[in-house]
Amino acid sequence: MSEDHTHVQEFFGARAADWDRKFPEDAPAFATAVAEFGLRPGDRVLDAGCGTGRALTPLRAAVGPAGIVLGADLTPQMLAAAQRAGRAAQGALLLTDVARLPLRDGALDAVFAAGLIAHLPDPAANLRELARVVRPGGRLALFHPIGRAALAARHGRELTPEDLRAEHNLGPLLARSGWEMTSYADEDARFLVLAVRHR
Over residues 114-131, the pLDDT tens digits come to 989 988 889 999 999 999
In this structure, how many other beta carbons lie within 10 angstroms of the beta carbon of residue 99?
Answer: 18
Query: Burial letters for 129-146: b for 16+ Cβ neighbours within 10 Å, e otherwise?
Result: bbbbbbeeebbbbbbbbb
- Residue 37's H or E segment, with its range, is helix 27-37
CA separation for the pair 43, 15 (Å, rounded): 32
Q: Round to whole Å and give the CA distance between 177 and 144.
A: 20
- Greater confidence (13 vs 94) lies with 94
CB atoms within 10 A of CB 189: 13
Using a pLDDT cut of 70, give the percent of the chain over it: 88
Q: What is the pLDDT of residues 19-74, one digit of tens each?
A: 566 666 778 899 999 999 999 999 999 999 999 999 999 999 999 999 999 999 98
Tell me the average pLDDT across 87-114.
96
Better-predicted residue by pLDDT, 15 or 155: 155
Q: What is the pLDDT of residue 12?
A: 60
Question: Percentage of residues in the chain with pLDDT exceeding 90?
Answer: 74
Tell me how far apart the terminal alpha carbons of the chain are, to the nearest angstrom.
33
- Measure the CA–CA gap between 90 and 71, rounded to whole angstroms: 9
pLDDT of residue 91: 97
Q: What is the pTM of this model?
A: 0.90
Give me the pLDDT at residue 85, please.
92
